[in-house]
Amino acid sequence: MDAGIIQKYFVNQKEDVTVKCPACGRMKTLFVARLKNAQHSIKIDCPCHESFEVFLEFRKDYREQTLLIGHFRALSTPRIRAKRCIIADQSNGGLLLLTTEEVPIKKDDRMIVSYRSGKFALLETEKIISVRHYDPGHCIGGAFIDTQPQRNARPLKTASHWS
């Protein structure tokens, strides 16, 4: 078996992941909650004596339909000239804005979106998004720009022995 091939698995919300030995096909479910919030590779020793590495990526799929009044503007546009929109959909990756005005934007433009959300309605949230999709006069889909420092994948020297 080619040890150079690393299988990639996405970890679900239950924080378990079922991996398959590339040599014998044996399946094993691992509970990986303790590795949460980082990307890891794990070395697994199968009873068939195959040793292989899997790369884990944690996914938090969350998408919420909303109907919030918000404003959006280009990074260089003063706040007072922001356009009104409705935040129709929020996910951990971005926002969908509904707008009736045509604005001079294109894919990959960056915009500031501000809105008040949820229980803390007095606090205005501001997010920078990168335009992914623009349907003039209808909607703008944007992805959040990650302003946090990127986490690097940290290889863990964890051997998981199967009983």
x-or-dash pattern for Zn ion, window 45-84, by CB under 5 A? Answer: -x-x-x----------------------------------
Closest distance between Zn ion and the C-beta of residue 104, in Å? 58
Find the radius of gyration of the CA atoms of the chain.
22
Own/partner pairs, 82-87, CB within 8 angstroms, 24+ separation: 82/112, 82/114, 85/113, 85/140, 87/113, 87/115, 87/117
CA separation for the pair 125, 102 (Å, rounded): 24
Closest distance between Zn ion and the C-beta of residue 162, in Å? 9
Please list every residue from 88 through 127 that binds Zn ion, using CB under 5 A: none
Question: Does residue 19 touch Zn ion according to CB under 5 A?
Answer: no
Q: Which residue lies nearer to Zn ion by CB, 27 or 75?
A: 27
The DSSP secondary structure of 105-128, one letter per residue, reads --TT-EEEEEEE-TT-TTSEEEEE
Stretch near Zn ion under the rule CB under 5 A, chosen from 18-26, 30-38, 71-79, 95-103: 18-26
Q: Which residue lies nearer to Zn ion by CB, 28 or 83?
A: 28
CA separation for the pair 128, 113 (Å, rounded): 6
Which residues here bind Zn ion, judged by CB under 5 A?
21, 23-24, 26, 46, 48, 50
